[in-house]
Amino acid sequence: MTSWLVYPSSPSGNSRRIELAGTDLWICARIDLAFVYPSALDVDRFKEALSRTLSLWPSVCGRFLVVENGQYFIEMSDNPIPMNYTENNELTKWPNDLNIVLQLNKNPLTEFIDEVQTIKLVSGSLEEPLVYFKLTCIVQSDEWVLGISWEHVLGDAASCLHFLNTLSRIYQHLEPPKLPPVFERRLWRQNEADQTLLPIMKQLRDALSLKDMLKNFMSIQNMYDQVNLHFSGEQLDTIRELAGGNIVTIQDSLTAYIIVTLNTYCYRNDDEHLILRTNTTVNYRGVLDSIAPVGQVSNAIFMMLSNNFENPFSLTNVAKAIRSSIIRSRDPKFLESWLATADGLMKNITRENLTPNVGYFANEVTVNSNLRYDWVDLVDFVFLAEHCHAIKGKKSQQARNKRGCLGLGAVCNSHTDCCGHDDPESGHCILCTGILPGLFGVGSRTCGCSKFSVAGSSDTGTLTDICDGKDRSGSRVCRTRVAPPGHMYYRGDDFYYGRGKKP
């Protein structure tokens, strides 16, 4: 194993302190992720990109700090981030049969991730980094695995994705995202809290010791088997239509479908387990800038409990109840009261060395997010940095007949639905694109070119923002702007900026 400490390219934290709200104090939690790429990552280039990214994100280089009066901070101390590289000679290739969501007691990714030591943070360590990186080369297949461990006090999944997307773009020699990170957050006062909300805040109200929480959590995982379901885009559209159409989102209708299926076939005569409510993790960025602007790096999430379903066997009724709870969660007055109340509860939990109770509550189901995060498209260190092999202009109809896949513009559910995603003549610039459908349920994802692709106009010779363009022979083609230098389809930075076009 080879190890490095990666410093920010230019220190920008200068020991500035960002005070944390109580809702950020998920100290015992972390986000562990593994990304698998089909070819090598450039380690030196990755370290350089990480160094530059850390300068833009000084909180990631910081340390968690507790002061005597009960305040909690991240001190932007410009510390280095640990990064390790190792080679795996045992696996012949990455095991594609792994579950996307892994159980705590059955986690095969341990060897691919260097984990943040949350227990050290709970114990008050001032030396524990808040992020770890690990690169693993599977030698026999030349696949590379990028493992990340992200301490939850830094921010939620949206914050982590924002950081990794910045790193990915800098690695590809693209400009960072236009949306800058916002580290300051609103701090809440005790007189803003509303104790009448406690009945819908059971996870925080009924906090447990870490030992009891882990015991309960492991018991639940040992008691139940994980079920993995795959839905096509067409199936999701059908479920949404049956659940109420445009008045609900795809996520609302999918959650409702699972609930109604369980209630109908498993819990119809089981009053103890019949699902009557959902508890959904809601992202509240953008509801009001004074609460949390869109780019805020924090834990801008909370658990929203729905009202009881009037008919727990009705797809429409359950979906509408879920949607009503999400709408209520976006009411600024309600949100301010909820967050102020949660702020006090979380600070008490932290002072008393307890942890939120994320276990099972009778007649409820927990949904981890009302949003879909596009990790595949936004955290890419290989596909978008390689030459896209679509220069032969293979027609999507021919590919559809050959492979039974979907052509450009067709509604899709995942990249593998699309013609050319894994085809040497079409390349990986063809993706199942569309962030809004995943985040807000607006429209549908469709097969198209990567958002970082560009095309050259055969008429004017200039670059366009339309990635479904034509090459010089007039053939339909998708291209990323990074191709081998000297190639006739080369779209390197010099050419790109020379035409006055910026990504």
Residue 149 has pLDDT above 80, yes or no: yes
- 3 state DSSP class of 193: coil
The domain 190-367 having CATH identifier 3.40.50.300: the answer here is no
With b for 16 or more beta-carbon neighbours within 10 A and e for fewer, the 62-100 pattern comes to bbbbbeeeeebbbbbbbbebbbebeebeeeeebeeeeee
Domain segments of the chain: what residues?
2-188, 190-367, 386-498
Instruction: Tell me the pLDDT tens digit for each residue of 31-52.
Output: 999 999 888 889 999 999 999 9
Model pTM?
0.76
Residue 386 has pLDDT above 50, yes or no: no
Instruction: Tell me the pLDDT tens digit for each residue of 445-480.
Output: 777 665 444 433 334 333 333 344 443 344 444 444
Residue 392 has pLDDT above 70, yes or no: no
Instruction: Tell me the pLDDT tens digit for each residue of 282-303.
Output: 999 999 999 999 999 999 999 9
- 3 state DSSP class of 407: coil
What are the two backbone dihedrals, phi and then psi, of residue 87, each rounded to the nearest 5 degrees? -115, 140
How far apart are the C-alpha atoms of 361 and 137, rounded to whole Å? 42
In what helix (H) or strand (E) does residue 118 lie, and over which residues does it extend?
Answer: helix 118-122
Mean pLDDT of 75-96: 94
* Fold agreement (2-188, 190-367): yes
Contact 326, 247 (CB under 8 A): no
Tell me the chain's radius of gyration from C-alpha atoms: 24
- 3 state DSSP class of 3: strand
What are the two backbone dihedrals, phi and then psi, of residue 453, each rounded to the nearest 5 degrees? -85, 160
- 3 state DSSP class of 266: coil
DSSP-derived secondary structure for 82-95: EEEEEEE-S-SS--
Token pair of 199, please? 């009945």
As a whole-number percent, the residues of the chain with pLDDT over 90 amount to 56
| pLDDT value of residue 487 | 37
Residue 201 CB partners (closer than 8 Å, separation 6+): 303, 305, 338, 341, 342, 345
How far apart are the C-alpha atoms of 131 and 279, rounded to whole Å? 29
| CATH of segment(s) 2-188 | 3.30.559.10
Residue 99 pLDDT grade (very low, low, confident, very high; cuts 50, 70, 90): low
